[in-house]
Amino acid sequence: MNTATPDTATIEVIRKTWQERPPAANPYLHGRMTRALEAFAGKGFPTTRLENWKYTDVRKLAASYPEWLRTAPDETATPDLEPLVGPDSVRISFVDGIYRPDLSTAGDLPPGIFAGSVSELLSVEPALEDKLGKLAQDSDSAFVALNTAFAGDALAIVLPDNVELQKPIYVRFHSSTSQLGTQPRVMVELGARSRATLIEHYTSGHEAIVNSVTEIRCLENAALNYYKVQDEHTDSWHTAAQYVELARNAKLTSMHLDTGAGLARNELHVRLAGPAANADCKGLFMGSNNQHIESRINIEHAAPETQSRERFRGILADKARGVFNGRIYVEPQAQKTAAELTNRNLLLSKGAEIDTKPELEIYADDVKCAHGSSTGQLDENSLFYLMSRGIEHDEARSILVEAFAGELLGDTGIEAIARKAQQSLRALRKVEQ
Amino acid sequence: MASKQPDVKDFVDRKYEHGFFTDIEADTLAPGLNEDVIRLISKIKGEPAFMLDWRLKAFSHWQTMQEPDWAKLERDAIDYQAISYYSAPRSSADAPKSLDEVDPKLLETYDKLGIPLHERARLAGVAVDAVFDSVSVATTFKEKLAEAGVLFCSFSEAVKDHPELIERYLGTVVPHRDNFFAALNSAVFTDGSFVYIPKGVRCPMELSTYFRINAANTGQFERTLIIADEGSYVSYLEGCTAPQRDENQLHAAVVELIAEKDAEIKYSTVQNWYPGDEEGRGGIYNFVTKRGDCRGDRSKISWTQVEAGSAITWKYPSCVLRGNDSVGEFYSVAVTNNLQQADTGTKMIHIGKNTRSTIISKGISAGRAQNAYRGLVKIFPTAENARNYSQCDSLLMGNQCGAHTFPYMEIKNPTAQVAHEATTSKIADDQLFYCRQRGLREEDAVNMIVNGFCKEVFRKLPMEFAVEAQALMNVSLEGAVG
């Protein structure tokens, strides 16, 4: 009953577009892409009849997809890409889905660290084949399958054991061509006891379709700080999924900032696969006008003594609609798990909407799991307090909204990202007035 | 955990106390479902034409529907053609007017259940409309209620005596096409309870119905309709037990509550149907649609439930808060042991201004059971200043059970305040240690902690029910810890 009826006409056009593209040189990759295309064709675009897509309707996106996939990228575009983080970072830039060495500084990476294409990596390390696509399964989601089929080559970043990378790696995906569909794909592996910071930043100059998939594997005792900033053009469609697997004692600290796109949907999947693995995930999404922003997290505790904490907040103005879904899944063997999920939302105007669903699914008994969710408007007492001290109504509201976000942004490791969030908040407040 | 004590072992092995089968002759229809069966049911019950029309509409819609599969339940498919849709005790033709006329075997059944009908009714001042299988056979305290103007009778009587009320209210809260099981119930329901509280009347006693499932292979389809007219108040109790059985029995009831302006309905349930044996064989499938409609301003509907029995429980007592300043409440304790499964919760639909709702749900999962809370809080754009508070706590006992929480919140008004909290944990070792150190047996300590965990809900039950519920809790969880 709960299966989407694939729109055969759309699928056929997408299949034709795929066939017209030059096949991947690497036979393994080509086979993978072929299988992914079939996986997508079997599923079709999801409909709101599917539980996981209940609140997000992608019919309009699906209608534009075939054509936008055919749009030719501009290989010579020279957009002014002001990096989000300072010069003290390793930059890797993609414009219209094409790697741009002229806008990148991957050469600055210390020796031993690989940052390049997957096909390049496959030629030196064929064992990689067993790892690719293992975390993000094409059978799980039509969008992952679509990404695998069209992404072809992916960005691979591999840190060997015992490397502590001081500089953050800043990966920028920019769409400069109007009505272009891109499928960014990133694969990251951190060796045992390695540490790194990775920032993914998505922007577009015009309306675009962006469908990204990131796979991250952290081996024993590795630690990754992960940031994803989505600041697409307000007419863009952005769908993204990150799949993270943490081995024994590995740690993920993540922050998601979603401010752009007309329709955005982000899924963060974290699997705590090794004992004592730890995940601390934060997210802030904000929308105005008719934006539709969905943020999903799926945390799987698969080993004993794993810990996770998820804090997500949404701020919605005008007619914007926010969707939050948080799921904590505890497998039977994951005893002594501690998990805590909170979602707080602020509705700033009439017409704004939030649909939230924090889920717990627990099969182990010796656990401490909690989730909480609250939604409301700004607290009248706080507003009164500020106004009674001579602060104008609008200013007082601004302070409170910033404070609401500030509780999350307080310990953002990279200040530039916190600043970016504050900036978006101010823009949101302007729209609201 | 500490070594098992012999008494714990005894508890584990203890069989379902209320499992027995009363041998009474029953008029039972051959298994199967088609339009003729529905016509026959309607004819046997001597219903007016509008009832038959309504049943047939429901049936034709039901045939177009698919059985829902979204709940977190695993079960065998139900063969709806293998169920007999009507069964009435032999003496139904000349229904007894008083307890003396009731079949002595029936009374014996109630005695075994520990419900001395006459005694209890007199002592507790409770009017009992006991439903034995599908037809009401004993009704008490009618006179006292009649004095107050309260109508409390079986559904079939209401159809005969007050067809105008039935026609006006039936299916207005749970329409015949609402969901798969509600549609089935609308087509084939045989009896149930009907309550009407007139304007401004405070019902002089707590109303109570005991449901019993008896003859084998008979699905039980009850329909309850409670109407509280302007400014009235009623408290209604529903309690269930069932004989032991090997095949799964389907129970698809519908309960409709209507609260007009300033009216209040308090609906309490203790459900202890046969849960199946240790291996999950047998047991009742309890698929119930319960919904209350707060139609008038300042009306209030409160659901309290203790769900301890049934192999599968699938029910979501809901409140539609239509009137301004109306209030909805849901207090629930769901206990699952062995291979029981429960997917239960509530829906609070806020439509009117200043509507408020509270959800307190306590789930206890033991053995290899799965226990899920599933709830929806929906705030319409019209629901200015709506408030909701939800709390869902789960307790896990044993490492093979599961506890799940699926709260949906859909908020379309910025003046609303919605808060949800949930926790899942096991009984803390230090709590147990503390109790045992003071000389309590492990079983007693667990009972004490569990009762404390459920206290918020038990407090909401009428007194006799609260006592029963606590005892039920202890019995249900026997042997769960060790």
Which range among A26-30, A97-101, B126-130 shows the weakest confidence by mean pLDDT?
Answer: B126-130
The pLDDT, as a whole number, for residue B200 is: 94
Is A373 an 8 Å CB contact of chain B?
yes
Closest CA–CA distance from residue A363 to any residue of chain B (Å): 4
Contact B351, B293 (CB under 8 A): no
pLDDT above 70 (res B224): yes
Q: Which residue has the higher pLDDT, A196 or A84?
A: A196
**Dist. CA A162–CA B350, nearest whole Å:** 56
B53 occurs within a structural domain? yes
Collapsed DSSP state (helix, strand, coil) of residue B71 = coil
B410 occurs within a structural domain? no
B1 occurs within a structural domain? no
pLDDT above 60 (res A34): yes
Q: Chain B neighbours among A 44-73 (CB < 8 Å)? A: 51
Q: Give burial (CB, 10 Å; 0-12/13-18/19+) of A20.
A: exposed
- Once rounded to an integer, what is the mean pLDDT over residues A109-127? 85
The pLDDT, as a whole number, for residue B133 is: 41
Is A369 an 8 Å CB contact of chain B?
yes
The pLDDT, as a whole number, for residue B122 is: 36
Q: Which residue of B has its CA nearest to A356?
A: B409
Q: Which residue has the higher pLDDT, B288 or B126?
A: B288
Average pLDDT over chain A, rounded to an integer: 90
Q: What is the pLDDT of residues A360-409, one digit of tens each?
A: 999 998 899 999 999 988 888 999 999 999 999 988 998 999 899 988 88
Number of folded domains that form chain A:
1
Q: Name the band, by pLDDT with cuts 50, 70 and 90, for residue A306.
A: very high
Q: Which of B52, B81, B96, B97 is nearest to B189 (CA)?
A: B52
The pLDDT, as a whole number, for residue B100 is: 55
- Once rounded to an integer, what is the mean pLDDT over residues A291-309? 96
Q: Which of A200, A211, A171 is nearest to A69 (CA)?
A: A211
Average pLDDT over chain B, rounded to an integer: 80
What are the tokens at B430? Answer: 């230090």
Instruction: Give phi and psi for A189, each to the nearest 5.
Output: -135, 130
Contact A336, A308 (CB under 8 A): no
Query: In terms of residue numbers, what domain contains B31?
Result: 6-367+426-476
A301 occurs within a structural domain? no
Contact A356, B416 (CB under 8 A): no
pLDDT above 70 (res B438): yes
Q: Which residues of A341-365 are buried (b: 16+ CB within 10 A; e: fewer)?
A: bbbbbbbbeebbbbbbbbbbbbbbb
Q: What is the pLDDT of residues A60-106, one digit of tens each?
A: 999 899 889 888 888 888 888 888 887 788 999 999 988 988 888 88
Which range among A183-192, A356-365, B14-23 shows the weakest confidence by mean pLDDT?
Answer: B14-23
Q: Which residue of A has its CA nearest to B395?
A: A365
A152 occurs within a structural domain? yes
The Cβ of residue A11 has, within 10 Å, a number of other Cβ atoms equal to: 21
Identify all chain A residues contacting B70, using CB atoms and an 8 Å cutoff: 2, 51
Closest CA–CA distance from residue A81 to any residue of chain B (Å): 37
Q: Name the band, by pLDDT with cuts 50, 70 and 90, for residue B23.
A: low
- Once rounded to an integer, what is the mean pLDDT over residues A162-189? 93
- Once rounded to an integer, what is the mean pLDDT over residues B288-297? 94
Q: Which of A92-96, A243-247, A409-413 has the highest mean pLDDT?
A: A243-247
Q: Name the band, by pLDDT with cuts 50, 70 and 90, for residue B404.
A: very high
Q: Name the band, by pLDDT with cuts 50, 70 and 90, for residue B235.
A: very high
**Dist. CA B162–CA A191, nearest whole Å:** 78
Q: What is the pLDDT of residues B40-82, one digit of tens each?
A: 888 888 889 999 999 999 999 999 998 888 877 777 788 888 8
Q: Which of A149, A82, A152, A157 is nearest to A112 (CA)?
A: A157
The pLDDT, as a whole number, for residue A433 is: 52
Mutate to test the interface with A, among B357, B406, B411 (most CBs of A within 10 A): B411
Which range among A16-30, A82-96, A124-138, B442-456 shows the weakest confidence by mean pLDDT?
Answer: A124-138
B137 occurs within a structural domain? yes
B157 occurs within a structural domain? yes
Q: Name the band, by pLDDT with cuts 50, 70 and 90, for residue B243.
A: very low
Q: Which residue of B has its CA nearest to A349?
A: B414
Identify all chain B residues contacting A360, using CB atoms and an 8 Å cutoff: 394, 403-405, 422, 424
Collapsed DSSP state (helix, strand, coil) of residue B384 = coil
Q: Which residue has the higher pLDDT, B185 or B21?
A: B185
Q: Which of A419, A405, A425 is nearest to A85 (CA)?
A: A419
Identify all chain A residues contacting B424, using CB atoms and an 8 Å cutoff: 360, 362, 367-370
The pLDDT, as a whole number, for residue A340 is: 95
A398 occurs within a structural domain? no
A217 occurs within a structural domain? yes
Query: In terms of residue numbers, what domain contains A216?
Result: 8-274
The pLDDT, as a whole number, for residue B95 is: 44
Number of folded domains that form chain B:
1
Contact criterion met (CB < 8 Å) for A366 and B409: no
B92 occurs within a structural domain? yes
Is A381 an 8 Å CB contact of chain B?
no
Contact criterion met (CB < 8 Å) for A375 and B422: no
Closest CA–CA distance from residue A277 to any residue of chain B (Å): 20
Least CB–CB distance from B409: residue in A51, A352, A373: A373
Q: Quick one: what percent of chain A has pLDDT higher than 90? A: 62
Q: Which of A324, A264, A259 is nearest to A292 (CA)?
A: A264
**Dist. CA A289–CA A287, nearest whole Å:** 7
Q: Is the dihedral of CA B443, B446, B452, B454 positive or negative?
A: negative
Q: Which residue has the higher pLDDT, A114 or B77?
A: A114
The pLDDT, as a whole number, for residue B111 is: 55
Least CB–CB distance from A356: residue in B400, B409, B425: B409
Contact criterion met (CB < 8 Å) for A374 and B394: no
Q: Give burial (CB, 10 Å; 0-12/13-18/19+) of B164.
A: exposed
Find tokens 């409390």 and name the residue.
Answer: B152
Identify all chain B residues contacting A347, using CB atoms and an 8 Å cutoff: 411, 413-414, 416
- Once rounded to an integer, what is the mean pLDDT over residues A127-142? 84
A419 occurs within a structural domain? no
Contact criterion met (CB < 8 Å) for B396 and A362: yes
Q: Name the band, by pLDDT with cuts 50, 70 and 90, for residue A292.
A: very high
Q: Name the band, by pLDDT with cuts 50, 70 and 90, for residue A27.
A: confident
Global ipTM: 0.86
B378 occurs within a structural domain? no
Q: Which residue has the higher pLDDT, A296 or B36?
A: A296
pLDDT above 50 (res B185): yes
Q: What is the pTM of this model?
A: 0.86
Q: What is the pLDDT of residues B441-458, one digit of tens each?
A: 888 888 888 888 988 888
pLDDT above 70 (res B17): no
A279 occurs within a structural domain? no
- Once rounded to an integer, what is the mean pLDDT over residues B145-152? 86
The pLDDT, as a whole number, for residue B8 is: 44
Contact criterion met (CB < 8 Å) for B424 and A362: yes
